Structure 1
Amino acid sequence: MAETPITIPAELLPVDGRFCCGPSKVRPQAVEALSAVSSSFLGTSHRQKTVKNQVARFRQGLADFFGLPEGYEVIIGNGGTTAFWEVAAFSLIKDRAQFATFGEFGAKFAKAVKDAPFLGAPTVHKGEPGSAAFLTAEAGVDAYGITQNETSTGVAVPVQRVAGADQGALILHDATSAAGGLDVDLTQSDVYYFAPQKCFASDGGLWIAILSPAAIARAEEIKAGGRYIPAFLDLVTAIENSRLEQTLNTPALATVFLAAEQTDWMNAQGGLSWAAQRTAESAEILYRWAEKSPVATPFVTDPGLRSNVVATIDFAEGVDAAAIAKTLRANGLVDTEPYRKLGRNQLRVALYPAIDPSDVQALTASIDYVIEQL
């Protein structure tokens, strides 16, 4: 006999059931705004003012949102964070890099640099999933890389420079899922890079890097030194194009517009301080629920390392997290499954600024209901 599907009572359900860690929830108002300009914006040349104005709107919105320090620039390129790891390998690392990795994505950047035949072997400090690793000063290292928020595990660390690092060494922060939802002092970073399909509630396909004057100078120095750099991965080319409010290759126009729309919306709410407070509120709701639950616990045991934008919740033996996620999905609460390679009995929940804390509260009530019925 087939099992009777579990129907979560309507009064328990969130207004919006999207909790994916990327691509993330896109606000309906942003889609409506895109629809309103679809005939004049979509399908038009990215070299003309119609599109350039939206690129400029996005870049200026980010400058306002983050309160750009003197001399820092917002640079946009094609290809997403994976492409930017290669950009950094070609255009920002002179020879030796050091990485702190504690999840899937930080490890991928370290591997990209390790595989680059024109760079020296990097030093890698590795932390186990659910914990963190940190950078330490090392003679001869000219670039340091660390992930502010590890999307695969829900671990977040502060953005800060490496005390005692060689003069001129750059610090690169992978903020793919952190930027826009976690607080940051950009003076503590030379390269703060991310993508728009997380906190900026858009689609993928772009990388955004906030570069310090030192990072810009490093890119220019490496290019002038004669290193072969593919045009698509040439950071100097991306800088020059961004200053013209464009990208080297045609960008996804909807992605640019939706990201600009989300940035303007967050700025109107109060900017980065508002966004960070909103994600903290959502995180408090979810972690507090897990700590009180007889069958759920936060995967990240150190409260100081728990992310406010990506939460991972473990379940006790005998409680099937996969069955919970499947039932939630059948009821319109989607993408709460754990990161596939982590292989844990858990749920992973996005808490980005576009997600209303009241929907997070409703999610916890829905999970409790499902557990009771399973």
Structure 2
Amino acid sequence: MERPAKAPLRPEFSSGPCAKRPGWNSDALENALLGRSHRSKPGKAKLQEAIDKTRKILKVPADYKIGIVPASDTGAVEMALWSMLGARGVDMVAWESFGKGWITDVVKQLQIEDVRILEAGYGHLPTLAHIDTDRDVVFTWNGTTSGVKVPNADWIKEDREGLTICDATSAAFAMDLPFEKLDVVTYSWQKVLGGEAAHGVLILSPRAVERLESYTPPWPLPKIFRLTKGGKLIEGIFTGATINTPSMLCVEDYLDALNWADSEGGLDSLIARSEANLKVLEDWVEKTDWIDFLAVEQSTRSNTSVCLKFTDPWLDTLDEDAQAAVPKKVASLLDAEGVAYDIGAYRDAPPGLRIWAGATVDASDLELLTHWFDWAYASVKSA
């Protein structure tokens, strides 16, 4: 097959950290508050601006709290798990590696006794109807390493008694999150908006705040996880007084991404961009006989972390190691060509490719990339 003549303008298709917004350059950071305390008046103002713009773009209800916290999405999730769980039984829902990681933390670290585990393999969802939202529930909205998302929140009761704790790190700003069904939502800047890493966002419903102020977990809480003092929410965390020192350079980058999102038309436009990107890949997969989505059901296909598996019968003539090596060779070849970076499947996932299709990626680049996929696979197969 002839080598394609035209390459994507931006070869960044990593699933985290993700592509910067179109047109980004370092000039976007020229107003960063460097060499100043984040606790100074202008420092707090920057952090509050980030919170306010987050609320606007994500359409977060006015009575929900938004805080900037340390340690990326992982830190935000851990704060919720350590501070809120244990008051009642909990359903842990997982269908890929990060969800399974939260199960490990709850079972082995917190050692909560009343835990139900609902799991499914890569490509599938657990039976959502089996989840009991009168218990606490911990789940990922989008399985970043499996390319499988929940299609909706119909399975969450309006009058639930438990808290729903949602790791939304590869869903926020690209999927419709029904906040009225979610009590804790977490994400990091380095996913859909392409911000710089190390910071997480923690969004709490009034019900989550009530839990924090009425329940004290039986285990000691590290300072970095403490959301209350004297039985009351530490309000400063949600008004720009962060727990530890944030990078004001990263804050400025996040503000730039939020301003770009606003200029694009807000959340609805970001979702539309990501869904258009998925459509490019869907059209290519439909006409290509050696590739398919890892997600078994179309309604559960992620429109951000798109995971693909190789289905060519030729692979069955190879031993297991040789089969697993084929996707890696395709990814390495495209990396060497400067066409697509970091598109190999996650280390714990089945062999395949993972292409980021979030809002900061252009559909035109994905269209060009599909031609390179065809060329790279043909090259590896004929080698």
TM-score (norm 1): 0.89
Tell me which amino acid in the other structure corresponds to 1:231. Answer: K
Corresponding residue to 1:63 among 19, 34, 55: 55
Tell me which moved more, 268-277 or 93-102: 93-102
Q: Tell me how far 1:322 sits from its aligned partner.
A: 1.4
CA contact (8 A) 1:8 1:331 kept: no
Instruction: State the alpha-carbon separation in 2 of the partners of residues 273 and 139 from structure 1.
Output: 28
**Residues 323 and 37 of structure 1, relative CA distance in 2, 3 Å threshold:** same
Unaligned runs of 5+ in 2: 316-322
Instruction: State the partner residue of 1:18.
Output: 12
Secondary structure, counterpart of 1:339 in structure 2: coil
Tell me which amino acid in the other structure corresponds to 1:235. Answer: L
**Residues 213 and 322 of structure 1, relative CA distance in 2, 3 Å threshold:** same
CA contact (8 A) 1:159 1:188 kept: no
Corresponding residue to 1:347 among 345, 349, 353: 353
Residue-by-residue CA offset, 1:275-333 (whole Å, 9 max, x unaligned) = 11110000011122012112111121211111001111112244822111111101222
**Residues 244 and 289 of structure 1, relative CA distance in 2, 3 Å threshold:** same
For the pair 1:222 / 2:203, whether they are aligned, the reply is: no
Q: Tell me how far 1:37 sits from its aligned partner.
A: 2.5
Tell me which amino acid in the other structure corresponds to 1:78. Answer: P
Residue-by-residue CA offset, 1:343-368 (whole Å, 9 max, x unaligned) = 41x11000111111111111111112
Q: Tell me how far 1:119 sits from its aligned partner.
A: 2.9
For the pair 1:335 / 2:342, whether they are aligned, the reply is: yes
**Residues 29 and 312 of structure 1, relative CA distance in 2, 3 Å threshold:** same
Q: List aligned pairs for 1:75-224, cutoff 5 A.
A: 75-93=67-85, 94-117=87-110, 119-133=112-126, 134=128, 136-138=130-132, 141=135, 143-160=136-153, 162-163=155-156, 167-223=160-216
Instruction: State the alpha-carbon separation in 2 of the partners of residues 190 and 80 from structure 1.
Output: 19
Instruction: State the alpha-carbon separation in 2 of the partners of residues 205 and 231 from structure 1.
Output: 18
Unaligned runs of 5+ in 1: 1-5
**Residues 353 and 7 of structure 1, relative CA distance in 2, 3 Å threshold:** same
CA contact (8 A) 1:18 1:334 kept: yes
CA contact (8 A) 1:137 1:164 kept: no
Q: List aligned pairs for 1:264-275, cutoff 5 A.
A: 264-275=259-270
Tell me which moved more, 124-133 or 214-223: 214-223
CA contact (8 A) 1:7 1:331 kept: no
TM-score (norm 2): 0.87
Tell me which moved more, 65-74 or 317-326: 317-326
CA contact (8 A) 2:273 2:359 kept: yes
- How many percent of aligned residue pairs carry the same amino acid? 25
For the pair 1:362 / 2:368, whether they are aligned, the reply is: yes
User: How many equivalent residue pairs?
Assistant: 363
Tell me which amino acid in the other structure corresponds to 1:339. Answer: Y
How large is the Cα RMSD of the aligned pairs? 2.4
Instruction: State the alpha-carbon separation in 1 of the partners of residues 159 and 228 from structure 2.
Output: 24
CA contact (8 A) 2:98 2:143 kept: yes
Instruction: State the alpha-carbon separation in 1 of the partners of residues 112 and 379 from structure 2.
Output: 56
CA contact (8 A) 1:159 1:173 kept: no
